[in-house]
A and B are shown apart, each in its own frame.
Chain A
Amino acid sequence: MFAKKRSQHGGVVSSMPSSNAKKLLRLPHVFAKILELPFPSDDDVLVEETPQFFRFVASCNAGGVRALAIEILPGITKIVIKRMDGGDVAVAGRHQQVPSGFGLWRFRLPPGTQPEMVTAVSIGGKLVVTVPKIKSRAN
Chain B
Amino acid sequence: MGNCNVCAKADVVEDSNNNRNKKSNETNRARKKEPKPFTDEPARSTAAPIRVLKDVIPMSHRTRISDKYILGRELGRGEFGITYLCTDRETKEALACKSISKRKLRTAVDIDDVRREVAIMSTLPEHPNVVKLKATYEDNENVHLVMELCEGGELFDRIVARGHYSERAAAAVARTIAEVVRMCHSNGVMHRDLKPENFLFANKKENSALKAIDFGLSVFFKPGERFSEIVGSPYYMAPEVLKRNYGPEVDVWSAGVILYILLCGVPPFWAETEQGVALAILRGVIDFKREPWPQISESAKSLVRRMLEPDPKNRLTAEQVLEHPWLQNAKKAPNVPLGDIVRSRLKQFSVMNRFKKKALRVIADHLSVEEVEIIKDMFTLMDTDKDGRVTFEELKAGLRKVGSQLAEPEIKMLMEVADVDGNGVLDYGEFVAVTIHLQKMENDEHFHKAFKFFDKDGNGYIELRELEEALADESGETDADVLNDIMREVDTDKDGRISYEEFVAMMKTGTDWRKASRQYSRERFKSLSLNLMKDGSLQLHDEITGQAVVV
| Pick from A24, A26, A47, A72: contact of B20, CB under 8 Å | A47
Stretch binding the partner chain, chosen from B36-44, B53-61, B301-309? B36-44
Query: B484 at the A/B interface (Cβ < 8 Å)?
Result: no
| Pick from B109, B163, B270, B278: contact of A17, CB under 8 Å | B163
| Pick from B15, B229, B266: contact of A24, CB under 8 Å | B266
Contact A31 B108 (CB under 8 A): no
Contacts of B233 in A (CB 8 A): 27-30
Query: A49 at the A/B interface (Cβ < 8 Å)?
Result: yes
Query: A94 at the A/B interface (Cβ < 8 Å)?
Result: no
Given the contacts A13-B343, A29-B233, A100-B234, A47 and B19 also touching, CB distance less than 8 Å: yes
Contact B33 A110 (CB under 8 A): no
Contact A6 B351 (CB under 8 A): yes
| Pick from B38, B103, B109, B232: contact of A30, CB under 8 Å | B232
Stretch binding the partner chain, chosen from B398-406, B412-420, B426-434? B412-420
Query: B340 at the A/B interface (Cβ < 8 Å)?
Result: yes
Contact B231 A5 (CB under 8 A): no
Q: List which A43-71 residues lie within 8 A (CB) of chain B.
A: 44-50, 57-59, 70-71
**Which of A58, A70, A76 has the most CB atoms of chain B within a 10 A radius of its CB?**
A76
Contacts of A75 in B (CB 8 A): 230, 242, 244
Query: B91 at the A/B interface (Cβ < 8 Å)?
Result: no
- Give CA–CA (A16, B341) in the complex, Å: 13
Query: B235 at the A/B interface (Cβ < 8 Å)?
Result: yes
Give the nearest-CB partner of A73 in chain B.
B278
Q: List which A105-127 residues lie within 8 A (CB) of chain B.
A: 106-110, 124, 126
* Binary A-proximity of B266-292 (CB < 8 A = 1, otherwise 0): 110010111100110010000000000
Contact A21 B38 (CB under 8 A): no
8 CB contacts below 8 A, A to B, read A2-B350, A16-B163, A16-B409, A26-B197, A30-B232, A45-B20, A46-B20, A108-B110
- Give CA–CA (A58, B17) in the complex, Å: 16
Give the nearest-CB partner of A27 in chain B.
B234
Contact B244 A9 (CB under 8 A): no
Majority DSSP secondary structure for residues of A touching B: mixed
Contacts of B229 in A (CB 8 A): 32
What interface size band does chain A fall in?
A: 35 or more
- Give CA–CA (A58, B107) in the complex, Å: 18
A67–chain B nearest beta-carbon distance, Å: 17
Contact A48 B230 (CB under 8 A): no
B272–chain A nearest beta-carbon distance, Å: 8
Query: A85 at the A/B interface (Cβ < 8 Å)?
Result: no
Query: B542 at the A/B interface (Cβ < 8 Å)?
Result: no
* Chain A contacts to B: CB under 8 angstroms: 1-2, 5-6, 8-9, 12-13, 15-17, 20-21, 23-24, 26-32, 41-42, 44-50, 57-59, 70-73, 75-76, 78, 99-100, 106-110, 124, 126
Query: B551 at the A/B interface (Cβ < 8 Å)?
Result: no
**Which of B197, B234, B237 has the most CB atoms of chain A within a 10 A radius of its CB?**
B234
- The 4 A-B pairs with the shortest beta carbon distances in the complex, nearest first, are A20-B265, A32-B230, A23-B266, A27-B234
Contacts of A44 in B (CB 8 A): 20, 33, 36
Contact B232 A107 (CB under 8 A): no
- Give CA–CA (A20, B107) in the complex, Å: 37
Contacts of B163 in A (CB 8 A): 16-17, 20
Contacts of B20 in A (CB 8 A): 44-47
Q: List which B187-243 residues lie within 8 A (CB) of chain A.
A: 193, 197, 217, 229-235, 237, 242
Contact A30 B230 (CB under 8 A): yes
Contact A24 B261 (CB under 8 A): yes
Contact A6 B18 (CB under 8 A): no
- Give CA–CA (A75, B242) in the complex, Å: 8
Contact A46 B79 (CB under 8 A): no
Contacts of A42 in B (CB 8 A): 31, 103
Contact A6 B350 (CB under 8 A): yes
Contact B413 A24 (CB under 8 A): no
Contacts of B416 in A (CB 8 A): 5, 8-9
Contacts of A32 in B (CB 8 A): 229-230
Contact B267 A24 (CB under 8 A): yes
| Pick from B193, B270, B347: contact of A29, CB under 8 Å | B193
Given the contacts A49-B15, A76-B278, A24 and B159 also touching, CB distance less than 8 Å: yes
| Pick from B104, B109, B274, B422: contact of A1, CB under 8 Å | B422
Contacts of A8 in B (CB 8 A): 416
Query: B146 at the A/B interface (Cβ < 8 Å)?
Result: no
B306–chain A nearest beta-carbon distance, Å: 23
- Give CA–CA (A81, B344) in the complex, Å: 45
Query: B120 at the A/B interface (Cβ < 8 Å)?
Result: no
Contact A110 B234 (CB under 8 A): no
Query: B149 at the A/B interface (Cβ < 8 Å)?
Result: no
* Binary A-proximity of B55-93 (CB < 8 A = 1, otherwise 0): 000000000000000000000000100000000000000
Query: B544 at the A/B interface (Cβ < 8 Å)?
Result: no
A98–chain B nearest beta-carbon distance, Å: 13
Contacts of A50 in B (CB 8 A): 17
Contact A73 B275 (CB under 8 A): yes
Contact B231 A107 (CB under 8 A): no
Given the contacts A72-B278, A73-B275, A30 and B231 also touching, CB distance less than 8 Å: yes
Query: B504 at the A/B interface (Cβ < 8 Å)?
Result: no
Query: B448 at the A/B interface (Cβ < 8 Å)?
Result: no
Contact B156 A26 (CB under 8 A): yes
- Give CA–CA (A106, B108) in the complex, Å: 15
B99–chain A nearest beta-carbon distance, Å: 13
Contacts of A110 in B (CB 8 A): 107-109
Contact B107 A57 (CB under 8 A): no
A58–chain B nearest beta-carbon distance, Å: 8
Contact A73 B267 (CB under 8 A): no
Contact B234 A24 (CB under 8 A): no
Contact A29 B267 (CB under 8 A): no
| Pick from B19, B79, B107, B412: contact of A28, CB under 8 Å | B79
Given the contacts A47-B19, A72-B278, A23 and B270 also touching, CB distance less than 8 Å: yes
